Amino acid sequence: MKLGKLVTTAVLAVGVLSSTGCSRNRQEAVIKANEADKAVAVNPEGAIAMYEDATRLDPTNHRIFFKLALAYRKKEDWDKMAATLARATQLAPKFANYWFERGFALEQSARKKAVPWEEAKEPFQKCIENDPNFADCYEELGNVFLWTDDEQKALDNYTKAIEHDPGNIGYYPKLAGLYISLGFMKEAQQVLTEGKNNAKPGDKSLFWVHKGLAIVAQDRGDAATQVAELEAAKAFAPSEGSESVTILWDLGSTYATLNPPRTQEAIAMLKGFNSRACKGAKSASFKTECETASTLVVKLGGTLQ
């Protein structure tokens, strides 16, 4: 056998071995990722370690990088989530959901002032470029434009979110809230009314729709409608969380300032607010409201005790 043929045969043998090794690594990576899938809900730290091992075994599998990124999301490790999705978008640049999640991670980092808000724009724009019907990308891009002081583009993107998914009632208060802050009450009312009309019974986002309509009613001096909308909002308030606390303040202070005031209802609401917001660590966040609640209750002839 000639030397050239021996060399060629050897090269081919090495290529086959290399190919076999790569194939084995890819298979092991999938097995590792599947194990991590089972663990991620109860042991995210352990799942992250397994996903990381899987990405080292097969650095070309974009789906495993995406799973790793979602595991980082559970830990609210936004920096690592964004970095992992940078790799996923390199491997699969047409996957709009990868761009969305990267944008979301950068947005959370921006909220903590870890990165500039501008960094979150491109991923959401890439998301829309790859899937023009991805409504959440429009909403989140609207958030970024709002934080970078471009209210018009924020309005445009919030509007597009509604256009692409009119059944998501959570989009309407966002757009209406911006209209309210800009002083366009008529437009805000139109958006919120549309949201209310499109909502399915029991949709929890109606809490924010009714609160927005209460602000519009207050602006035009319509106390009766303001009260009705706040009472409607309370029906959709969760049992726990900030909404369940702030609605007590909203209703209590409104009842107290009616002419004539709804005294007993005002005292009851403000006492409930005081017990949940004006004691312990939470009180610092509601300092002004707590002081005003105390003043209103005394004025109405009641006591917070």
Rounded to 10 degrees, the C-alpha dihedral 112/113/115/116 comes to 130
- pLDDT at residue 23, as a whole number: 82
Residue 85 has pLDDT above 50, yes or no: yes
Which residue in 221, 228, 261, 230 sits closest to 248, CA to CA? 230
- pLDDT at residue 284, as a whole number: 87
What are the tens digits of pLDDT across the range 120-145? Answer: 999 999 999 999 999 999 999 999 99
Which residue in 247, 259, 141 sits closest to 204, CA to CA? 247
The count of C-alpha atoms lying within 13 angstroms of the C-alpha of 27, restricted to the half-sphere facing its C-beta, is 6
Arithmetic mean of pLDDT, 4-9? 50
- pLDDT at residue 1, as a whole number: 47
The neighbour count for residue 67, using CB atoms within 10 Å, is 24
Helix locations, 92-204, DSSP H: 96-111, 121-130, 135-147, 151-164, 171-181, 185-198
Which residue in 262, 241, 176 sits closest to 214, CA to CA? 176
What are the tens digits of pLDDT across the range 188-236? Answer: 999 999 999 999 999 999 999 999 999 999 999 999 999 999 999 999 9
* Amino acid making up residue 35: E
Return the H-helix or E-strand segment holding 84. helix 78-91
**d(C-alpha 301, C-alpha 278), whole Å:** 20
**d(C-alpha 159, C-alpha 176), whole Å:** 10
CB 114 within 8 A of CB 78: yes
What are the tens digits of pLDDT across the range 236-277? Answer: 999 888 999 999 999 999 999 999 999 999 999 999 999 999
Residue 14 has pLDDT above 60, yes or no: no
**Any idea which residue has 């209802």 for tokens?**
265
**What's the token pair of residue 145?**
């434009």
pTM: 0.86
- pLDDT at residue 13, as a whole number: 47
Q: Is cis: bond before 59, omega within 30 of 0?
A: no
Longest dimension (CA), the chain: 110
Residue 73 has pLDDT above 60, yes or no: yes
The neighbour count for residue 270, using CB atoms within 10 Å, is 29
Residue 19 has pLDDT above 60, yes or no: no
pLDDT band at 17 (very low <50, low <70, confident <90, very high): very low
**d(C-alpha 303, C-alpha 292), whole Å:** 13
DSSP-based helix, strand, coil % in the chain, nearest 5: 80, 0, 20
Instruction: Enumerate the domain spans of the chain.
Output: 239-305
The neighbour count for residue 184, using CB atoms within 10 Å, is 15
Q: What is the mean pLDDT of the chain?
A: 92
